[in-house]
Amino acid sequence: MLNETAKKLVDEITKNLAASKESISSSFGELLSLLIDKLQLSQDKKFVFVLLGKTGVGKSSTVNSLLNQEIAPVGKYDATTMEVQEYEHEINGVKCSIIDTPGLCDDIPEKGNNQKYIELIQNQVKQIDLLWFVTRLDDSRVGEDEKKGIQIISEAFTPKVWEHSIIIFTRANKADDYLEELRERTKRIRDEIAKHTGNEIAKHTGNEIANKIPSVAVDNKSQTTPDGKRWLEELYTQVFITMSERGAIPFLMATAPRINKTQSNKPNRDPNWTFYNQSKFTNQDKEDKDNEFNANDFIFNGIQKELIKKKLIEVIPALAAAGASAGAVVGGPIGAAIGGIVGAAVGSIFYFFS
């Protein structure tokens, strides 16, 4: 339920909108109340990412770049045992868990004991909002260890786990023929996943699930992939639209302040946030800083905004009533008026409807 302060804000904003020249639905106040209520309830929930991939492919670096926090430690080491490592964190008051599976896609002596690991991961992982399959784009094939990892995950959580999954290719700028390798590597991994997502009654189901898994190429040392496109916003978009509805709103709330700052930051105004590893570069020349990859900036294009908007409507159907004029008029002002993480989330949501 809305507190008295929020109710007064909703009433005041609705009256101001009604008095303006903008065409705003008379039921906008009800929508706004419902949205704030939904966000307040979501503050106590969390989102969970499970990472699957060989040790050293860049799983931790990529999730840290997306969330702008050093949540999963980055280290150069060889996996010696199959285990489950959970990193719990809080971003802007929203809880999240990043669960890594070192050894699962690595060549280690323990590899033959699949049932032991299936039981281990079933006991330790109770929620998956998105499964990340992370691999290098410059690897030419799906390794035998990766195939075994796909099999084990499928057996541990049933093939339905792949309905909320994403394929992430790291080291995009190391590819010789970027677009061709992206297409071919995506196909090969989907084909391997499809082997474990069908069933005896309907074998075609495997391909239906696998072919819907999005793939994104990233490079944690560059803002863009070889085709000149920014990858961070594409990663954010595909993560958000693919993850479970349960985790979507908590994820949005955790990242909302960055979305708002991106849209409102003016030229010559210093941002008041820091890239998760930027402290390492504080003594470098300004030219070096300007060239450094900054994971704070979200610059969504029209297609990405539309995809995120569609997902928001799926999660909160009442948002279908929000028109572009409402998004343009109330997005920033109402978010600032409400304040806090809920206000930031409201502002971000209406930004995607503007």
pLDDT for residue 238 is more than 50: yes
Q: How far is CA 272 from CA 65, 189, 291, 293, in A?
A: 17, 40, 18, 17
Provide the pLDDT for residue 274.
33
296, 314, 298, 294: which is closest to 351 by C-alpha? 298
Q: For 95, what's the count of Cα atoms within 13 Å in the CB-facing half-sphere?
A: 9
Q: pLDDT tens, 152-179?
A: 999 999 999 999 999 999 999 999 999 9
Q: Evaluate if residue 277 carries a pLDDT over 50.
A: no
Place of tokens 């903008």: 22
Is 335 within 8 Å of 260 (Cβ atoms)?
yes
- Per residue in 127-140, pLDDT (tens digit) is 999 999 999 999 98
For residue 265, what pLDDT is reported?
39
Q: Say yes or no to pLDDT of 5 above 70.
A: no
* Average pLDDT rounded to a whole number, residues 229-250: 97
Task: Give the model confidence (pLDDT) of 40-49 as tens digits.
Answer: 999 999 999 9
Which has more confidence, 233 or 26? Answer: 233
Q: What is the pLDDT of residue 312?
A: 96
Cα-to-chain-centroid distance, residue 178: 23
Give the residue from 266, 218, 254, 238 showing the smallest Cα distance to 65: 218
pLDDT at 56 over 50: yes
Cα pseudo-dihedral 299, 304, 310, 313, rounded to 10: -10
Chain CA centroid to CA 323, Å: 25
| Structure token pair of residue 264 | 């409102």
Q: Which of 149, 281, 191, 173 is nearest to 227 (CA)?
A: 173
pLDDT of residue 271: 33
Mean pLDDT score of the chain = 80
pTM score? 0.84
pLDDT in the model for residue 104: 81
For 15, counting Cβ atoms within 10 Å of its Cβ (0-12 exposed, 13-18 middle, 19+ buried), the class is exposed
Please, which residues have CB within 8 angstroms of residue 172's CB and are 6 or more apart in sequence? 137, 178, 182, 217, 218, 219, 225, 226, 231
Q: What percent of the chain has pLDDT over 90?
A: 48
Asked if residue 203 has pLDDT above 80, the reply is no
More confident residue, 322 or 184: 184
pLDDT in tens, 87-115: 999 999 999 999 998 878 877 655 566 78
Distance CA 197, CA 195 (A): 6
Residue 234 pLDDT grade (very low, low, confident, very high; cuts 50, 70, 90): very high
Which pair of structure tokens corresponds to residue 72? 């999963």
Instruction: Inform me whether the pLDDT recorded for 206 exceeds 70.
Output: no
C-beta of residue 259 within 8 angstroms of C-beta of residue 298: yes
Q: Which of 222, 215, 183 is nearest to 61 (CA)?
A: 222
Region 136-151: mean pLDDT is 91
pLDDT in tens, 16-34: 555 554 545 556 777 888 8
Assign 285 a pLDDT band (cuts: 50, 70, 90): very low
Supply 120's token pair. 């281990």
Pick from 136-145, 186-195, 198-207, 234-243: least confident: 198-207
Q: What is the mean pLDDT of residues 259-277?
A: 42
Answer yes or no: is pLDDT of 252 > 80. yes
pLDDT confidence of residue 72? 83
Please give the pLDDT value at position 284: 33
Q: Of how many residues is the chain composed?
A: 354
What's residue 31's pLDDT?
A: 81
Identify whether the C-beta of residue 250 lies closer than 8 Å to the C-beta of residue 127: no
pLDDT of residue 140: 83
Q: Using the predicted structure, report yes or no on whether residue 11 has a pLDDT greater than 80.
A: no
Confidence bin at 84 (pLDDT 50/70/90): confident
User: What pLDDT score does 71 carry?
Assistant: 87
